[in-house]
Amino acid sequence: MAALELEMGEDDAGERLDVVLARHVPELSRARAKALIAKGGVRVGGRRAKKSYAVAAGDLVTLESLPGPVDFYAAPDPSLALEVLLENEHFVVVDKPAGVPSHPLREGEVGTLAGALVARYPEMRDVGHSKREPGILHRLDTDTSGAMLAARDQETFEVLRRQLQAGEIEKRYLARCQGIVPAPIVIDTPIANDPRDRRKVRACVDPREIKRLRAKPARTEILTSTAAAHGSLIEVRANNARRHQIRAHLASIGHPLLGDTLYGGPALESPDRHLLHAFSITVGTLTTTTTPWNHKTSAPKIAAPNH
């Protein structure tokens, strides 16, 4: 079975195969893409291709083996302020600001939550499943703010990871989205990487698409909805949220996040981000909450459309 299939879009047409792969596949630098092509691990329309091949819109590019990401230790970064919401000898809950990546993509990168964590809690350095994510049990997108959970020792990490996988740790979010959203409703639509744009995921309804893209189960519960400026303020529960799950699910029902241009939401001038905040996490009997943007009184400013 192929590790990955990519369908080339209009934006890719005319570009070199190695350039396109490096852009669409986070695990591949251009050098690694060239090496994979040279080994015959990349096919276009079922045939081996050269690195200089100019792709065309609609080309189906198949990677027969996808190398794993290069792992490295997160660089300690004491310069990044870390707001701790809950701390004990086993784990911490911190408030990640919008605009801060959860973990580094390159060795030596600073300005990430992982770097701030390992600077404050050096015992986390070798905790977890990845050196780049010391103790981190779940991620938030760079522009998503809010509560994140991290373990201080490996035993706690394994226990909490099992609880997360079982849906026993409750995670709630606040979101501002376009239109009037009905509530309560459940969006129970499988999620897959979008073959046309590796920056995105796709909510899959067609059984053939679910099978072809190997979509994984995903459940988003919209608990409450209140009319707000430019749309709705909603409370969401997604205990096992996958990458971009809430964003893609909301867009799939016609209510993308304000500021989430990747999924069809309107661009914002202020604040310059998509409006999603992880405001609550419950571990056992401990519930930790954090305050998002001033959602009750402030109205986001919609950016003027580009012509």
Q: What is the CATH number of the domain that holds 221?
A: 3.30.2350.10
The rounded distance, in Å, linking the Cα atoms of 249 and 230 is 19
Domain identity same for 92 and 187: no
Sign of CA dihedral 183, 184, 189, 194: positive
Residue-range definition of the domain harbouring residue 197:
170-302
Q: Are residues 182 and 280 in the same domain?
A: yes
Tokens of 36: 């994979």
List the catalytic residues. Answer: 141
pLDDT at residue 139 greater than cutoff 80: yes
Tell me the mean pLDDT in the region 177-195. Answer: 94
Average pLDDT along the chain = 90
Whether 204 and 178 map to the same domain: the answer is yes
Specify the pTM.
Answer: 0.80
| Residue tagged 């849906």 (tokens) | 167
The residue type of 192 is A
Instruction: Check whether residue 161 and residue 221 sit in a common domain.
Output: no
287 and 188 in a single domain? The answer is: yes
The answer, yes or no, to whether residue 99 has pLDDT greater than 50, is: yes
What percentage of the chain carries pLDDT values higher than 70? 94
180 vs 7, which has greater pLDDT?
180
User: If you search the block for the tokens 């990401």, which residue do you land on?
Assistant: 69
CB 252 within 8 A of CB 217: no
